[in-house]
Amino acid sequence: MTDAPTMTAAVIDRYGPPETIALRQVPIPAPAAGEIRVRVRAATANRTDTATLRGYPFFARAMTGLLQPKMAILGMDFAGEVDALGEAVTAFQPGDRVFGLLPFTYGAHAQYVCLPATGAVAPIPDTLPFDEAVVAEGAWYASSTTDRLNPGQRCLVYGASGAIGTAAVQLAKARGAEVTAVVGTRHLELAASLGADHVVNYETQDFTRLGQDFDLVFDAVGKSSWFACRPLIKPGGLFAATDLGPYWSNIWLGGWYSLTGSRRVSVPFPEDAPGFVRSLSALMAQGKFRGVFDRTYPLADIVEAFRYVEQGQKTGIVRIDIP
């Protein structure tokens, strides 16, 4: 009898701090019918991974497991090459370079991961290396807000330097909106380089006094509130946020305004990950979207990567290099 081949993976068996993660040798997964197996070359450590590791917010455990996480390996973003096909898969070939998302199953913090061929996976544009293709997590969250924009509308992105904010600026521009990016001093040049029409420094200017000029105000870092941003929003405009807001205000205000008001509040949750990843692949191929990258950590240092991401100070995306 031969031993099953193994791979290196960052494994969790309970909710907790980054130190909960341990590198282990685990069996290489075999693709089931309709699945592909990807040899992962690059992944990310992101705010979804850190929230899932902590089991926070608690209600999210309805999806991730009440007392302990359902998934043994985190990692929502991946880029790599198809290395094996399950039965009846015709859309991919071994060797295809692909990137994508594993929104509910995770698993990219390992050398191999399996996912449905019909899942959130798309080709990496030819000229792009693997480590520049792990871009989907923040962009997917951003898209659920920016997809509401029409050409010519005005959008303000508060916190345009994180994974979601940097993506939001680019996706809003790709939809033909006029974009005002609000960032701190160290990110002024970055925001302009992403195509923002106007850049505001929140350290030197009170952005909430810019005037009632915006169809959409997006708090992309969960540090503002509808109460602060209300003076910016045109009648009939939208306030959207990545987080629940003070006292969960974004949730209950969203419910209230959906019943009554002209100024609406929303904490959108993205859908259709497969369709989104395919559209992102096309935008990258057209040069309309690029990842903004901060530090890269080897898989062996993944605990350090999670500690850094939890500080809430990264610029764009933190990568994990998979050996």
303 and 24 in contact (C-beta within 8 Å)? no
Nearest distance, CB of residue 3 and ligand NAP, angstroms: 37
175 contacts ligand NAP (rule: CB under 6 A): no
Selected binder of ligand NAP within 17, 152, 298, 312 (CB under 6 A) = 312
Binding to ligand NAP by residue 48, rule CB under 6 A?
yes
User: Is 13 or 203 the residue whose CB approaches ligand NAP more closely?
Assistant: 203
Q: Which of 103, 222, 237, 291 is the binder for ligand NAP (CB under 6 A)?
A: 222
**Considering beta carbons, is residue 24 or 307 the nearer one to ligand NAP?**
307
Q: Is 65 in the site for ligand NAP (CB under 6 A)?
A: no
Crossing angle of helices 136-146 and 273-285, in 10° steps, is 100
Q: Which is nearer to ligand NAP, 118 or 313 (CB)?
A: 313
| Alpha helix ranges (H) inside the chain | 47-54, 61-64, 136-146, 163-174, 188-193, 226-229, 249-259, 273-285, 302-310
Q: Would you say 80 and 299 are in contact if contact means Cβ atoms under 8 Å apart?
A: no
> Is the Cα dihedral 35, 53, 81, 101 positive or negative?
positive
Question: How far is 163 from 37, CA to CA, in rounded Å?
Answer: 27
Q: How far is the CB of 113 from ligand NAP (least distance, A)?
A: 19
Question: Of 202, 226, 293, 306, which lies in the binding site for ligand NAP, with binding defined by CB under 6 A?
Answer: 202
Least distance (Å) between residue 203 CB and ligand NAP: 8
- Enumerate residues 6+ apart whose C-beta is below 8 A from 71: 12, 52, 64, 65, 105, 106, 107
Per CB under 6 A, the list member of 315, 319, 320, 322 interacting with ligand NAP is 315
Cis ω before 268 (30° cut-off from 0): no
Taking residues 122 to 161 in sequence order and writing x for each that binds ligand NAP by CB under 6 A, - otherwise, the string is ----------------x--x-----------------x-x
- Which listed residue (110, 117, 163, 216) binds ligand NAP by CB under 6 A? 163
Contact yes or no for 159/219 (Cβ under 8 A): yes
Taking the complex as a whole, the smallest distance from the CB of residue 204 to ligand NAP amounts, in Å, to 12
Among 17, 30, 186, 252, binds ligand NAP (CB under 6 A): 186
Residue from 164, 169, 166 nearest 180 by CA = 169
162 contacts ligand NAP (rule: CB under 6 A):
yes
According to CB under 6 A, which one of 223, 230, 278, 288 is a site residue for ligand NAP? 223
Comparing CB distances to ligand NAP, the nearer of 57 and 236 is 57
User: Rounded to whole angstroms, what are the CA distances from 300 to 66, 102, 176, 206, 304?
Assistant: 28, 21, 42, 42, 9
Q: CA dist 232 to 69, 76, 212, 218, Å?
A: 40, 34, 4, 11
Residues in contact with ligand NAP by CB under 6 A are 46-48, 51, 138, 141, 159, 161-165, 183-184, 186-187, 202, 220-223, 242-243, 312-315
